[in-house]
Structure 1
């Protein structure tokens, strides 16, 4: 097929055909599963039909029983239990789960959330002040606490028993806590290490139910586990796959008033089949917006609301914050492009940009966009009165923690892991940081070679009904980290191409006997160039606007092809 770019996958082979025949899957989907190493049999059946009974038994989770024992005693003795969550989706969903479960079991639970703008991540000093004012007997931290030794020492010294539920990497220093649930602890023999904090919170709920000998259907909180796990970019394999698959089904029903109100604004129909991208791009950004601009407390109020009228009012406030976040984000990205161009930074091994007044709650989104575009590590920093807080992102295989560790003397502080990190720096050190960061990026190249840009691509088989392919792709869900959703490649005849409002491109396509629509954001400039055949790569999905099972390809890449 002359005119095609290099690196596209080979046409479907015999192994994929055999897999399609044995499973009844569309050949396109069977081809993708075959390329991912799946073979017909018990393993594949378990992958396609995960069940809650497949979950790893929690017996080996260190301190799980001790945590349940102390919290159960607090419930029986009517001690106040402070629940403290981080400001992101995993932290908020974890705190929501713990708060509702404790109350359902008869506990006196008071929730708190961290704030980016008042103390920052984790159990900060201002957070401890608020917690202690509530006079709790027990503090349960959700999605934070593993590194908060000083703050937890304060609460312990005040007579509070600390229970930490977290999944972040664990420092060597012992933690002042009566129980510490974290799969990454050296003494924790629980074999699955990828669980997000919301999944750990659900496990804690099961332990409490058993300890108190109460009947409580903890499946009610699987919708929040699905949101928190996907939003935190946790691996969607093993136990997480089981939890999130069940959680997406419950989420789709929108039984929780806050979720139903959110669906109305996101234009999601209750009962609609949901995948990982729906959470990642339609739900999680809305839940993260308040915390990026100020206080995340309104999100916890939404998720725990009991009345749909109240929930709709809260959701409307969140939607306005989401619109504001998008506007600020777009302005920051445009300014970032200007700074990179004027500073001739695009050829650097590592890029550092920053401005006074940039929102430190949005720098992570901007850094991620820039890292995707330039394929190098990027640090984006927002300064306020000369002090900067920034986020660092990079391409696959990058070693951000190693990079920052090698130049820590330039920064006030830093933290995170290899794939994402944060830092603080004073303006006087900004230029020095930029040079050091570039040098560190050269010293610590990605640990894995950059794969083909088409590693996630599979051909749409000419014999497959595109609608059947979409339905079968839902059997591969949840898709995301460690289980990518394939991009679909089609060789199509372009019957119409037009630029629409916003500079976007709308396409009418013929693929064999099938008719598809296409939508390419910001590519309206191609409308006059397209005619005849084209290779189109993108996400295949149902066109909810046209309805009746119509199929649309959300276009990532277009390659005009020469006439046959």
Structure 2
């Protein structure tokens, strides 16, 4: 039986023995959109197959397959896989969102949106990446991905609702596990000197705890990377005395290429590895953790420029008071934003009138600027803000009891 392989990861030196490999990143491929996600690769394979079947006359007496009906899934996979939203990916996502907003998407996606308290008619890239995607991924992280697949495939709205509710429960479990693991990672970082990470001499972080869940270490690596601004690999215990790791990088270090160099310097150290510039996965023997940590640190130190080790926040400057409105926030929400094409990030100076913890891990703030009071949130941070701050923020919408108000979502801040 002939084998067809589709992929979008950077290929290694040796390729699988297959009749055909479709991967825009393999050598010699002239497909222009190198940032396409795996779901996009498969979508184009199906387009090519339909064109070939049309050429052979298969559709002379029957209706052609409507592949546009799959664009909602293509949009979800593209955003959830956090690939750069180049022109081609933006087109795919835009078409998928259009279908979802029109109520023509999969029953399972509508059910997942309802489970997350979102209106499918106003689906945004945020919903794909932070509401629908995590609930689907929770099945694969904690249980069996077949539940997520069934949710996507079923046309039965009642069954879709049941699947979505179970996926929502798994996602709550995932958040609990992630919170406990993040507390352990934070405690480790707090015990180190210069805990902010900005002036560290080390180039990388490698973390491991025996009780960590291998389905969640990628999320922890992202959180640690955000805090210390260093390439980070987090490991969890696998089978057969192995550790399974997930890594996240920062601009300036191509993580997959770095791991490739590590593998060349220590053949056999990594049993498996693969990935992209900013994210990668790997497997090592538990007994080799110390060796990997040293080699990863030394290799990254050679490759990571000093300038890249400083956190740089690029903003779009101040936002005039007249644009701090619900209308502008809704306009921004409707657009196509994502990796490599982020929504506007504004910057201004505020007085902090009040702050309190909500949801155990977030700060709800009341800010003041030129006599105006502004509601704000600082997600996934409990660090108290000083009385006056210079903050980088995005314009967002807070919806509570059916009432929508504009909200500033703070991403970075410094005292003034």
Same fold (TM over 0.5): yes
Cα deviation for residue 241 of structure 1 reads: 0.8
Q: Specify whether residues 338 and 297 from structure 1 end up closer, same or farther in structure 2 by C-alpha distance, changes over 3 A only.
A: same
Which one has a bigger Cα radius of gyration? 1
Q: Return the structure number with greater relative CO, CA threshold 8 A, min gap 6.
A: 1
Q: Specify the SS of the correspondent of 1:278.
A: helix
Q: Does 2:271 correspond to 1:387?
A: no
Q: Specify whether residues 441 and 202 from structure 1 end up closer, same or farther in structure 2 by C-alpha distance, changes over 3 A only.
A: closer
Residues 126-525 of structure 1: matches in 2 within 5 Å?
160-171=1-12, 173=14, 175-210=16-51, 211=53, 212-213=58-59, 214-254=63-103, 255-274=105-124, 276-341=125-190, 347=200, 348-384=202-238, 386-408=241-263, 409=266, 410-446=269-305, 449=308, 453-474=312-333, 477-492=335-350, 496-500=354-358, 502=360, 504-511=362-369, 516-521=374-379
Structure 1, unaligned stretches of length 5 or more?
A: 1-159
Check whether the contact 1:503–1:525 (CA below 8 A) recurs between aligned residues: no
Residue correspondences, number: 397
Check whether the contact 1:466–1:514 (CA below 8 A) recurs between aligned residues: no
Check whether the contact 1:372–1:394 (CA below 8 A) recurs between aligned residues: no
Check whether the contact 1:399–1:446 (CA below 8 A) recurs between aligned residues: no
CA distance in 2, matches of 1:221, 1:167: 19
Query: For each residue in 1:364-421, what CA deviation from the matched residue of structure 2 results, as whole angstroms up to 9, or x when unmatched?
Result: 1111111111111222111246321111222122132333233322433333233222
Cα deviation for residue 225 of structure 1 reads: 0.7
Q: Specify whether residues 207 and 513 from structure 1 end up closer, same or farther in structure 2 by C-alpha distance, changes over 3 A only.
A: farther
Q: Specify whether residues 558 and 338 from structure 1 end up closer, same or farther in structure 2 by C-alpha distance, changes over 3 A only.
A: closer
Check whether the contact 1:500–1:524 (CA below 8 A) recurs between aligned residues: no
Q: Specify the SS of the correspondent of 2:273.
A: strand
Cα deviation for residue 237 of structure 1 reads: 1.4
Check whether the contact 1:393–1:421 (CA below 8 A) recurs between aligned residues: yes
CA distance in 2, matches of 1:463, 1:514: 11
Cα deviation for residue 472 of structure 1 reads: 3.7
Tell me the TM-score normalised to structure 1 length: 0.64
CA distance in 1, matches of 2:18, 2:115: 41
Cα deviation for residue 238 of structure 1 reads: 1.6
Q: Specify whether residues 273 and 514 from structure 1 end up closer, same or farther in structure 2 by C-alpha distance, changes over 3 A only.
A: farther
2:398 is aligned to 543
CA distance in 2, matches of 1:402, 1:171: 10
